[in-house]
Chains A and B, each alone.
Chain A
Amino acid sequence: MTTDQKTAPARAKGETLLEIRNLQIEGQSDDVWHPIVRGVDLTLHRGEVLGLIGESGAGKSTIGLAAMGYARPGCRISSGSIVFDGIDLMKADLEIKRKLWGSRIAYVAQSAAAAFNPAHPILEQTIETGVREGMRNRAEAIADAKQLYGRLRLPDPDKIGYRYPHQVSGGQLQRAMTAMAMACRPDLIVFDEPTTALDVTTQVEVLAAIRDIVEQFHTAAIYITHDLAVVAQMADRIKVLRYGKEVEQAPTREMLTHPKEDYTKSLWAVRELENPPRAGKEIILSIDHVTASYGNSVTVLDDVTVKVPRGRTVAVVGESGSGKSTLARVITGLLPPSKGQVTFEGKPLPPALKQRTKDSLRRIQMIYQMADTAMNPRHRVSDLIGRPAELYLGLKGRAREKRVIELLNLIELDESFYDRLPAELSGGQKQRVCIARALAAEPDLIICDEVTSALDQIVQEGILKLLLRLQSELNVSYLFITHDIATVRAIADEIVVMYQGKVVQQGLKNEVLQPPHPAYTELLLSSVPEMDPDWLNNLLAKRAAKPISGIKRADA
């Protein structure tokens, strides 16, 4: 294979590049093979971008890997055919497939941080495949990589490659990974949720970079995501999957305007959940002029004042590093503030966890972003939920058992979950159990730290509805930390916008979401993808015409 082969005529759009027929993939657990993908057909033409969407467990990633002729350990492709540019990947030897991987079919993983080798500079990893396959010599490959960095709008493209993965931001690393995938000018790139782990403000830039480069080189791509608004910007065609089967497939615009299947319509409807804001009366928690820092060096919170009314939801929004989670640590007492005061129900809270009474611990509960790590994998649901009830309310034996089942019903799960371990729950169920654990303490305030951002949209909607219902039944207050504006629209009464440790804007939801905005709020709000396929184009055009001033972009 030479570079000449990859010049314009061979790359003309339209020719069929990848053909998958009746693909069946099985996964193994406990010696039993059960189906993951149940007969999916997929055709991809040169230069075309196909969006694969569906909730987790729909088999998106498995199909993406199968398009490379690869099955994860513990999975097997049991039947069907996968033909890539005339090569039958089902029958091809590993040796042939290895020649294809990296050079003609590339893969961009969800977490670039986990996919890069931390011990080598980015540039070395970018050029590795091309040099090894003998497509270019080292000097050419380096020059080419630098050019790619430039096209992907990475800052300082000549030097950034000499940095190590930990020395660049997440968004930059994701773009470097795209450059790596692009280095051999592959015919096909599989993008597996490349922007899911990024902030909205960073996501816009990565999306724009990926789309430009895919268009420039007429590369075919499979774009896997659970974010509909993102896929609307990227894909020519969208395929909706569920339980390993195709629900429907159509060109992007048609799919967005006229979805046929009920399931697709329900996916589309998720983003429309909204409730009117209610002004609060009694203030339950007030944070006054709090300044906090880690060690003696970096100030993470700078003179922050936030008030949470009883029975209401205050959403704290901002990108990563804005101090949202630190605020939660100050309230819970994990990080005593260096200045300022936290007042709860009119009484000042002791700054450190150890000085707080059991009762004040009970009244403020916390729900974490990653339900996986928030639950001890060796504890059963009954212990996870029962322990706070036992510790704070002294429930034992039958009474505790009854309370656990009561709480399970409250979070819309049944008694069969009583004895399960966390590993036996789905993502949404895990988060529900975490909610039940918080409720078991009968708290007045629950701090929700990005509780829905690891979940896909339908599950998110379920959790948000549950939280709203619980609030109206139990009159509990939420401090809702998030970077997702759609979530804020759905659940918040008041919004606090944070940027670099400071509160930028604060007020009732409708007030904050109405223009005019402070510069940062403007950037944040305009970066949220919309379901309009022209959204990204319009946004980029608008930003080029009138740059948002006053914001230092760490990730530009």
Chain B
Amino acid sequence: MSAETPGMAVEPPIVRRRRGFRSRAWRGLKKAPPTAWFGLIVVFLYVFVALFASWIAPFPESEATGAAFEPWSSEHLLGTDQLGRDMLTRMIYGARNTIGIAFATTILAFLIGGILGILVSIMRGWADQFVSRGVDVVMAIPALIFALMLLSIVGPSTTNIILIIAILDSTRVYRLTRSVAMNVVVMDYVESARLRGEGLGWIMGREILPNILPPLVAEFGLRFCFVFLTISALSFLGLGIQPPTADWGSMVRENATLISYGDITPLLPAGAIALLTVAVNFVVDWFLHKTSGLRDDD
């Protein structure tokens, strides 16, 4: 190797050009495990059904088009409910209502919890103590019972449901955001931004948020499932989404008697809830694995 002189010996590694977002996303998808694919397809189908409910559904949402408790037939594919409304139609509209409300609730929970969490990680001191202990108090009360209590006080309108579940769930988002943001706040680049004289908004949104996004996105998926389950549970208990709006939780409750006659129809909305939860979790698992930096070959 004596012929080689420095500088021209071996060319230093060339930095490759960065791939575009789309091509990277597609490469990531191609490498995704079958479970993630299954989850993605199911979620996509649900979203499609929810968005185009009024075109897909064979009947209007809350119109009695047959007799009560009709069995499965060619007209009513999944039979009718206790008021003679088409089950399939109710299932399709239920997707829109339940998913839509769950989505709005989760977004709101993340706005409240996320902003508070980042803010507190920057301010520290008494602000942190004040908010964190308040959150501890709220978390100490079982969420479902607390929600039931609050809903029976203010009344179960859709806005109230969204607000109450969002506030209760934001405590968990707050916890997560605070803990991951704490690790980022101490980095030199945040100090550097403060030295530069950047405002609070810039530090929160541009310096901290991009670096804590992966765990937050993963948590978003999980939180969405829990919110979804909470809404269904509340509906089942009668304090959730109110009739005649179709939703899966109350559909299980209203038709539960059919199970004693060997009819599985009331299990279908329950199954729809279960399937979506499983699908979202598959996607979240895959995303967590991708962003945790674990390598497949370890």
CB of A272 to closest CB in B, whole Å: 17
Bound-state Cα–Cα, A76 to B13, Å: 18
Does B187 lie at the interface of the complex (its beta carbon under 8 Å from any beta carbon of A)?
Answer: yes
- Asked if A242 and B10 make an inter-chain contact with CB atoms under 8 angstroms apart, the answer reads yes
- Asked if A74 and B297 make an inter-chain contact with CB atoms under 8 angstroms apart, the answer reads yes
Q: Which of B15, B188, B196 is within 8 Å of A370, CB to CB?
A: B188
Does B295 lie at the interface of the complex (its beta carbon under 8 Å from any beta carbon of A)?
Answer: yes
- Asked if A243 and B9 make an inter-chain contact with CB atoms under 8 angstroms apart, the answer reads yes
Does A403 lie at the interface of the complex (its beta carbon under 8 Å from any beta carbon of B)?
Answer: no
- Asked if A391 and B211 make an inter-chain contact with CB atoms under 8 angstroms apart, the answer reads no
Bound-state Cα–Cα, A333 to B194, Å: 10
Does A261 lie at the interface of the complex (its beta carbon under 8 Å from any beta carbon of B)?
Answer: yes
**A247-B1, A378-B210, A420-B18 known; A373+B195 contact, CB < 8 A:** no
Using a CB-CB cutoff of 8 Å, which residues 1-42 of chain B contact chain A? 1-2, 4-6, 9-10, 12-13, 15-16, 18
How many B residues touch A, CB cutoff 8 Å? 30
Does A215 lie at the interface of the complex (its beta carbon under 8 Å from any beta carbon of B)?
Answer: no
Does B75 lie at the interface of the complex (its beta carbon under 8 Å from any beta carbon of A)?
Answer: no
Does A421 lie at the interface of the complex (its beta carbon under 8 Å from any beta carbon of B)?
Answer: yes
How many A residues touch B, CB cutoff 8 Å? 45
Q: Which of B15, B196, B211, B298 is within 8 Å of A388, CB to CB?
A: B196
- Asked if A245 and B192 make an inter-chain contact with CB atoms under 8 angstroms apart, the answer reads no
Binding site for A on B (CB under 8 A): 1-2, 4-6, 9-10, 12-13, 15-16, 18, 187-189, 191-198, 206-207, 210-211, 295, 297-298
A-side contacts of B9, CB under 8 Å: 242-243, 245, 247, 263
CB of B213 to closest CB in A, whole Å: 8
Q: Which of B4, B188, B197, B211 is within 8 Å of A361, CB to CB?
A: B197
- Asked if B18 and A376 make an inter-chain contact with CB atoms under 8 angstroms apart, the answer reads no
Bound-state Cα–Cα, A388 to B195, Å: 11
Q: Which of B198, B207, B297 is within 8 Å of A391, CB to CB?
A: B198
Extra inter-chain contacts (15) besides given A242-B6, A266-B6, CB under 8 Å = A38-B10, A57-B13, A73-B295, A244-B10, A245-B4, A245-B10, A247-B6, A261-B5, A334-B191, A334-B194, A366-B192, A366-B195, A368-B192, A376-B189, A419-B18
**A34-B13, A74-B297, A424-B18 known; A353+B207 contact, CB < 8 A:** no
Does A192 lie at the interface of the complex (its beta carbon under 8 Å from any beta carbon of B)?
Answer: no
B-side contacts of A245, CB under 8 Å: 1, 4, 9-10
Bound-state Cα–Cα, A57 to B10, Å: 13
Does A155 lie at the interface of the complex (its beta carbon under 8 Å from any beta carbon of B)?
Answer: no
Bound-state Cα–Cα, A375 to B6, Å: 31
- Asked if B194 and A74 make an inter-chain contact with CB atoms under 8 angstroms apart, the answer reads no
Find the B residue at minimum CB distance from A429.
B15
CB of A81 to closest CB in B, whole Å: 19
- Sampled A-B contacts (13; CB under 8 Å): A34-B13, A73-B298, A245-B4, A245-B10, A260-B2, A261-B6, A368-B192, A373-B189, A419-B18, A420-B18, A421-B18, A424-B15, A424-B18
- Asked if B197 and A374 make an inter-chain contact with CB atoms under 8 angstroms apart, the answer reads no
The 4 closest A-B pairs by CB, nearest first: A263-B6, A378-B210, A243-B10, A374-B188
Bound-state Cα–Cα, A465 to B219, Å: 48
- Asked if B295 and A262 make an inter-chain contact with CB atoms under 8 angstroms apart, the answer reads no
Q: Which among B12, B192, B211 has the highest number of chain A CB atoms within 10 Å?
A: B192
Bound-state Cα–Cα, A262 to B2, Å: 10
B-side contacts of A34, CB under 8 Å: 13
- Asked if A378 and B211 make an inter-chain contact with CB atoms under 8 angstroms apart, the answer reads yes
Bound-state Cα–Cα, A378 to B210, Å: 6
